[in-house]
Structure 1
């Protein structure tokens, strides 16, 4: 039995490999805060990933005062990893609060997608894409820096 566990754990990194610059991102589908499905496509130029509540708050502060459709106009998508949040809290409080946002949040409820894009938990990961390929990655630990970077993206 220990042999099988050791074998499984040794193969785990092969299944959860991080995407590297120059590689194509595998398509995925997640539900947003309104339970509307979204599938990653080649039109996306910026993928923002928040793996904690603090990182998600940075995105929210960076987007304060922006009009509805701001991210979409910049071909940007925001993923929030909420798998650590208790399901009851997510269902009763967090997700309903997100419905007041004027931007979409793709919810990674089971950490199926966000582990593909490793980054420090307290930072927002910015993946710059070109026709589905990763061309650059950045990490932001301040809402001001993130807002400035978003303003540089041409709508």
Structure 2
């Protein structure tokens, strides 16, 4: 019972940090797959968050065949939580494979940012932003649904 209480109390700060509609999204800086820094700012209108490899694969499938700059044109940012991936695997295989993508992936290697955005592990969380404030959120569990949502974004 003591362990349960300790665990519950240790998770409380994570729940307190969860973002809600109307909240301002705190800016953060992460490196992408090319080790180039990106800072989330008020220009971002969509934040796609993948908390697992399966969710990241959904994003990749949704973006297949899209031209370079597709996400940028939609003011969309893709954040991938890779903290559960063994560092050696990430360094030798996963990140080099991501360098072939024609879109940027902001890599949260230490789970500093992604836990702020709770999402089902098998879904992509779509956070709709307006001048840095969260105005809507959706979860997509299929690449087709995500692709359709991205295609409906006005440029």
Q: Structures share a fold, TM > 0.5?
A: yes
* Gaps in structure 2 of 5+ consecutive residues: none
Provide the C-alpha distance between the structure 2 equivalents of 1:32 and 1:46, rounded to a whole number of angstroms. Answer: 17
Partner of 1:14: 13
**What is the aligned-residue RMSD (CA, Å)?**
1.6
Provide the C-alpha distance between the structure 2 equivalents of 1:12 and 1:28, rounded to a whole number of angstroms. Answer: 21
TM-score between both structures, scaled by the size of structure 1: 0.93
**Matched pairs, number:** 151
Partner of 1:149: 149
Provide the C-alpha distance between the structure 1 equivalents of 2:12 and 2:133, rounded to a whole number of angstroms. Answer: 21
* Gaps in structure 1 of 5+ consecutive residues: none
CA deviation after TM superposition for structure 1 residue 111, in Å: 0.6
Partner of 1:63: 63
List per-residue Cα deviations over 1:76-119 (Å, max 9, x = no partner).
00000000000000000000000000000000000100000001
Shift >3 Å, 4+ stretches: none
Provide the C-alpha distance between the structure 2 equivalents of 1:24 and 1:13, rounded to a whole number of angstroms. Answer: 20
Within a 5 Å distance, the mapping from 1:4-153 to structure 2 comes to 6=6, 10=9, 12-14=11-13, 17-153=17-153
Provide the C-alpha distance between the structure 1 equivalents of 2:100 and 2:75, rounded to a whole number of angstroms. Answer: 21
CA deviation after TM superposition for structure 1 residue 12, in Å: 4.7
CA deviation after TM superposition for structure 1 residue 10, in Å: 2.4
